[in-house]
Amino acid sequence: MLERPSLIIFGGLPGTGKSSIAKAAARQLGLVYLRVDEIEQALLRHAPGADFGAAGYGVAYALAAANLALGMGVLADCVNPVAASRAGWRAAGRYGALLEVEIVCSDRAEHRRRVEQRTAEIAGHALPGWAHVVALAFEPWPEVDLVIDTAQTAVADAVNRIAAAARAGAAGGTDA
């Protein structure tokens, strides 16, 4: 558990290991876990075929802010590919400390293998293929506090680094 409410924001391309690390970190730190894919899939179940655009992120921002206002820490698991989505998280995090974490996989062959071999954890969720992942526009993230390369870092080690950074008040660093 953290001493004060915190918002830990994850980002990174699909298949880098974000959700595996995010779930483990949320459990270890006792944080509310928000996954944008879960929210988007729930919206689609209730309105099949609708185009929600950024609505999943909007719902997640609101849930994060509400939980932080109650004194609960939150971990947000999402691709978070653009500056606008990151700014939304920063606004939602006004009630607590903020830690921004980018998950990367520097081994292109391993990243592709993960993308091509993974199975959906969310009922009805269509996972992106490799062509979609490499075409995805992921804007530079100059404000990121911590970069974790899953080609070099095991899940448990990544969680320990995130926990240490969160406890230190978003102290940064990279291992790329």
User: For residues 129 and 50, what is the distance between their CA atoms, to the nearest angstrom?
Assistant: 21
Does residue 120 lie in a domain region? Answer: yes
CATH of the domain at 23: 3.40.50.300
Does residue 37 lie in a domain region? Answer: yes
Does residue 162 lie in a domain region? Answer: yes
For the entire predicted model, the pTM comes to 0.90
Strand order, beta sheet including 32-35? 32-35, 74-77, 6-11, 97-104, 146-149, 173-174
Does residue 102 lie in a domain region? Answer: yes
How many structural domains are present in the chain? 1
Does residue 74 lie in a domain region? Answer: yes
Q: What is the pLDDT of residues 117-156, one digit of tens each?
A: 999 888 888 889 999 999 998 999 999 999 999 999 999 9
% of the chain exceeding 70 in pLDDT: 93
Does residue 20 lie in a domain region? Answer: yes
What's the pLDDT at 167? 87
| Range scoring the smallest mean pLDDT among 17-31, 84-98, 111-125 | 84-98
Residue-range definition of the domain harbouring residue 46: 6-174
Does residue 99 lie in a domain region? Answer: yes
Does residue 1 lie in a domain region? Answer: no
User: For residues 38 and 15, what is the distance between their CA atoms, to the nearest angstrom?
Assistant: 16
Q: What is the DSSP string of 6-65?
A: EEEEEE--TTSSHHHHHHHHHHHHT-EEEEHHHHHHHHHHHSTT---TTHHHHHHHHHHH
Fill in the amino acid letter for 71. Answer: G
